[in-house]
Structures are given as C-alpha cells and as structure tokens.
C-alpha cells in the first residue's frame, strides 16, 4: 500500500477528528498519527521522565484517536516524543520560571514538537504534508505563505502558531480553520464520531489540567518568602515567588491589612533573587500598567519584517483584544513596542504576537516593560 500523502495529527479530540474527516471527504490520501509527549514518571528531583508508560489521560486520548482512525478506515500510527518534549520544551519552561518569568509552553510546543518533530516523522512515513485541528488558516499571497486567523474569533489559535515559518506553512493544512467550533461539533455528530461531545483539552500543552502549583512544585520546590505592598510593608507570606504571575489574584491569602481597604490584592512585581512578591490593591493598579515593552529577537513568518518601523496591532496574551502599537526594530533583531493605550499586566516571558488585519506577522518573547516595578524586580 502506498504511503499517505497527508499525516493528520490525531489528538483524540473533536477538532483533529473533524480535520481528518474533511480531508477524507475531499478525497485526500491520509493517515493518522498520535503523539504522546508527556509521561508522569518524572521524579520529585526533576529527573527526566522515561519514554515508556504514559498516564491515564494520554491513554484515553490514544484510544479515542485509534477509534476515529478505525471508523474512517485510515492507518493509525503512534509515536512517543516525551524525550523531545522534555529537552525542547519543558526544560526551557522550568528555566523561565526559575528566572522569575512566565513562559508560554504552547508556543514552544508548536514550534519544537507539532511542526518540527511531528513534521519530520510524517516525512519519514512518506507523507508530503501534515494536518492538525488548529483554528488557523494558511494562504498564499504575493508569492509567500501567510498565517491567518481562524474564522472563529473565539477559538483562533494563530497566537500560538506565530513561530512557524515558510517551510512549515508550506507543508501544513488546517482543515477546520474556516469553521466555527459549533459547526465542527455538528459535523462530528452528523458523522457519528465518538469525539463529537468530548470536552476540549485545557492546561499546559500535552501535560493537561492539573493543580498548577502542586505540579510545578515537583520541579521547583516551595521557597517561602515575604509578600510586600508596593511601599515595602510586609502583608503576608508566599510559597515561592516563581509560582506567581503578574496580575494574579488567586492564592495570595493576604488578609486584612491595617490602614488599607478591604479590597482584593494583585501581584504587581516579583523579585526572585530576593524572593519577594509585591502586591497592590485594585485590578487596574498603576503598578500593573505599561505603555512600552522590549522583546527578545523576533521571528517573522515571512522571513523578514515588513519595515524597520511600522504600525500594526498586537496581543501580549491569548484572548486579548488587538491593541494598536508602533513597532521599531532594534539592531539585534529585538523589538521596541509603544502602545497607543496603557496595557495591563504585560508579563516578561510571555509572547508578543503581531497582526496586520487577518494576517499574523510573527512575534517575540517579551523581555521587559516600563511598568513601575519592572527595573526594581527584574533579574539581572
């Protein structure tokens, strides 16, 4: 039997199931591949997990993926990329938290695993292209490949795909990118696919929903320290500054403070070196606001930036509304970005993603901002 032309990344969810269904209906030659990228066998000292037995959630997803492939009558492949995920994604994830930053593992997971390791494996199986259930679109414009937003604005995943380049987009199909989620589920139900009503996966890419602090504590042990208000007053104790992110309200356990109103407290700064967490009251505390940021070296989907200085819109976190900004390229390929309006809780380690209309231009990791406590609390 000849090799399939397209390998579909089968996650065991409804989106990848319908992606495979639509390609098959189009007459495409397809096969499915299930990726296992995490094993719950890491020891408490952070040793690398083995690439053997997976956890129950991964096994359930694998069973669902196999069932969909069986129902569609297509070949099923399974690969364990746990070692690649650990080296390419998770070690960076931990290093960023140790440095006091808040990483976005989904962005790195897409770049290193789904559109690198998986793509390489698909080519090894004789395929020309891969397909996934992402809510995004690919188009050819002016002789280059473009990453476009998914038609369902509430599900658009272009933010997490901004590190892709021309070679990856040329080899990638997003069969459901033009559809709203409700229609995807309806198509699955009409076809009798058992994943039609399956709950969407959430949490860390390939690791899933967990008590985040307990999970992170397996690798970054608790290190109690002071919680201080912005004027330096001690108002509580934290379990470890690296467990918190800017703008966070939950988990602070700051009680009534003499002379302060009974209003919620929010994280407004972290000094990991001194192990101090800074907090302030009010969701729009001025200590959470910034108008400028600088990034690490940027990635451009087209292979180069549109200009040395240009206007566009940007997101500093997923699901944020587009924000108007002015972008200036620095000599080292990093970006200086000025926003038209102050931004709340812009967080070093997260991704700045740039757009022009429906097209994702690329992005970069946020290095620092002009928030009031940034210079005081940033690691050297």
For residue range 45-54, list pLDDT tens digits in order: 444 444 333 4
Q: What is the DSSP letter of 112?
A: I
Bridge pairing between strands 225-229 and 276-281 = parallel
CA dist 188 to 2, 43, 69, 280, Å? 28, 39, 13, 47
pLDDT of residue 263: 86
Please count the other Cβ atoms lying within 10 Å of the Cβ belonging to residue 184.
Answer: 24
pLDDT of residue 377: 53
| 349 within 8 A of 365, measured Cβ to Cβ | yes
C-alpha 336: how far from chain center: 22
Q: Which CATH superfamily is domain 289-377 in?
A: Translation factors (2.40.30.10)
Q: Which CATH superfamily is domain 6-213 in?
A: HUPs (3.40.50.620)
| 36 within 8 A of 78, measured Cβ to Cβ | yes
pLDDT in tens, 285-343: 999 999 999 999 999 999 999 999 999 999 999 999 999 999 999 989 999 999 999 99
The whole-angstrom separation of Cα 39 and Cα 95 is: 19
Share of the chain above pLDDT 70, in %: 91
Pick 29 or 272 by higher pLDDT.
29
Residues 211-247 as b/e (b if ≥16 CB within 10 A, e otherwise) read eeeebbeebbeeeebbbbbbeeeebbebbbbbbbbbb
Average pLDDT for 179-199? 96
What average pLDDT does the structure give for the chain?
A: 91
Highest mean pLDDT (candidates 28-42, 79-93, 352-366): 352-366
Please count the other Cβ atoms lying within 10 Å of the Cβ belonging to residue 376.
Answer: 13
The whole-angstrom separation of Cα 292 and Cα 97 is: 23
CATH fold for domain 222-283: SH3 type barrels. (2.30.30)
pLDDT of residue 115: 96
SS3 368: strand
CA dist 378 to 225, 247, 271, 275, Å? 17, 16, 7, 12
Between the two ends of the chain, the Cα-to-Cα distance in Å is: 58
The whole-angstrom separation of Cα 41 and Cα 21 is: 34
Domain segments of the chain as ranges:
6-213, 222-283, 289-377
pLDDT in tens, 121-138: 999 999 999 999 999 999
Residues that are catalytic: 109, 205
pLDDT of residue 207 exceeding 90:
no
């Amino acid at each position: 039997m000849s090799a399939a032309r397209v390998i579909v990344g089968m996650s065991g969810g409804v989106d990848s199931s319908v992606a495979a269904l639509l390609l098959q209906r189009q007459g495409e030659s397809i096969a499915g591949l299930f990726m296992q990228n995490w094993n719950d066998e890491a020891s408490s000292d952070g040793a690398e997990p083995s690439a053997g037995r997976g956890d129950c959630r991964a096994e359930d997803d694998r069973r669902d993926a196999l069932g969909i492939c069986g129902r569609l009558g297509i070949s099923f492949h399974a690969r364990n990329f746990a070692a690649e995920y650990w080296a390419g994604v998770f070690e960076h994830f931990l290093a960023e938290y140790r440095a006091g930053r808040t990483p976005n593992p989904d962005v790195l997971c897409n770049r290193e695993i789904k559109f690198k390791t998986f793509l390489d494996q698909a080519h090894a199986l004789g395929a020309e292209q891969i397909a996934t259930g992402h809510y995004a679109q690919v188009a050819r414009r002016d002789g280059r490949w473009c990453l476009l937003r998914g038609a369902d604005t509430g599900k658009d995943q272009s933010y997490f795909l901004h590190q892709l380049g021309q070679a990856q987009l040329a080899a990638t199909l997003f069969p459901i990118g033009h559809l709203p989620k409700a229609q995807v589920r309806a198509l699955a139900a009409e076809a009798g696919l058992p994943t039609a009503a399956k709950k969407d996966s959430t949490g860390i890419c390939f690791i899933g929903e967990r008590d985040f602090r307990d999970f992170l504590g397996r690798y970054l042990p608790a290190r109690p320290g002071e919680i201080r208000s912005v004027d330096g007053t001690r108002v509580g104790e934290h379990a470890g500054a690296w467990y918190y992110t800017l703008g966070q309200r939950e988990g602070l356990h700051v009680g009534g403070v003499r002379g302060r109103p009974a209003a919620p407290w929010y994280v407004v700064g972290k000094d990991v070196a001194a192990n101090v967490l800074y907090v302030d009251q009010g969701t729009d505390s001025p200590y959470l606001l910034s108008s400028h940021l600088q990034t690490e070296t940027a990635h451009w989907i087209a292979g180069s930036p549109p200009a040395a200085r240009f206007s566009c819109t940007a997101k500093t976190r997923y699901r944020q509304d587009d924000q108007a900004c002015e972008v200036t390229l620095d000599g080292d390929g990093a970006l200086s970005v000025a926003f038209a309006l102050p931004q709340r809780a812009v967080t070093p380690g997260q991704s700045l993603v740039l757009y022009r209309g429906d097209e994702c231009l690329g992005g970069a990791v946020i290095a620092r901002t002009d928030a009031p406590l940034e210079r005081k609390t940033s690691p050297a």
